[in-house]
Structures are given as structure tokens and as C-alpha cells.
Amino acid sequence: MERLSSKTVYEGRIAKVRLEEFRYDDGSVHEREVVGHPGAVAIVAHDGESVYMVRQPREPVNEPDLLEVPAGKLDVEGESRLECAQRELAEEIGRAAAEWRELKRLYPSPGILEEEVTLFLATDLSDAEAEPDDDERLEVVPYPLDRIDDAIDECRDAKSLVGLMLLREELRAGA
């Protein structure tokens, strides 16, 4: 599969749409619409007692307080995935982590959206040096690890579900 051409047909503040032409191994050529995305990170952070989640409004799916793990877009030039994850963890829940491990890279909606999410496990938590961002619409939710099954039942965000289920496997293996 080879990308032959790419043309931006819409460019908003965040959303960008491209029309791209691809040639496949059988020689055929087809045009595809692609919604551009810089990629994102998401962080499964726990201190042995709780996994730290957030609730926030998610307008595209009309949810006023969707439960998710901390996450953010790779939108700072030159910042690595890990640095972005460290910044987001501090901004969203006011924590730093001494231990970081990559759990998974996943595509949220690979038929239309360029986004790739890198999921990190963050442990050995402490208070971050800087204050968290003052976002009145983001609520920090420490979810007790012994209720992780409830968190998985309640959660409807794909990256968070994958992260919580991978964490559950880790907890079982370590128990």
C-alpha cells in the first residue's frame, strides 16, 4: 500500500480533513478521506490504592461528564510521547510518577481517523511540582483499585477501557 497524493480539503482549529490517493498491492488506486490527528497519550496512573481518572464534558458524544483516564494530544512541537504524558498527568491530576512504562499503542478509529494513542502505566506517584491546570469542567476521580471492575463497567471511553483492562491484568498477575 502506497500513498500517492494528499490534499488538505478542510482545516479547522483542531480538525483537518485530507483527501488521499492510495495504490494497493493489486495495482488498483482509490481515494480515501482521512481526518488528520497529531496523536495522543493516555495515562493509567495508580498508587496501589486508586487509579486516578477524570470526568469531563465530551461535546462530540454529548456526554457532560465522561469518565476517562488522563490524556492529551501530542500538540507541543518537539515534545516526546513520554514528556507529553508527564505534562498531562501534572496538568490534569496534579501528580508526578517515578515509574513509567508503555502499555500499548492503539488506533481509536482507524477507518477514518489518523489518531494513534500511546497508553502509559504510571506508578510511584507524588505531588507534581506545579499546580494542576485550573479547569472547572474537569473533575479528578480517584477510583479504588478494588472496584476496578466497576470502573470498567462504567467506562465508555475506548482508550481508557483498554488501559483499565490492561491494568486489571497487571494487578491479577501481581496479586
- CA-CA distance, 131 to 90, in Å (whole number)? 8
| Residue 134 in the binding site for a second copy (CB under 8 A) | no
Which of the stretches 47-55, 82-90, 101-109, 140-148 binds a second copy when contact is defined by CB under 8 A?
101-109
- The C-alpha angle 133, 137, 142, rounded to 5 degrees, equals 75
Window 8-27: residues binding a second copy (CB under 8 A): 9-10, 12-15, 17, 19-20, 22, 24-26
| Residue 62 in the binding site for a second copy (CB under 8 A) | yes
Shorter beta-carbon distance to a second copy: residue 121 or 125: 121
- How do beta strands 139-144 and 50-58 pair? antiparallel
Please, are residues 40 and 85 in contact by the beta-carbon 8 Å criterion? no
Shorter beta-carbon distance to a second copy: residue 96 or 106: 106
Min separation Cβ 127 and a second copy, Å: 26
- CA-CA distance, 20 to 32, in Å (whole number)? 5
Chain center to CA of 16: 19
Min separation Cβ 126 and a second copy, Å: 28
Taking the alpha carbons of 122, 126, 131, 135 in that order, is the dihedral positive or negative?
positive
| Residue 79 in the binding site for a second copy (CB under 8 A) | no
C-alpha cell belonging to residue 163:
488501559
Q: Applying CB under 8 A, which residues contact a second copy? A: 1, 3, 9-10, 12-15, 17, 19-20, 22, 24-26, 32-35, 37, 57-64, 66, 68, 73, 104-117, 136-137, 156-159, 161-162, 165
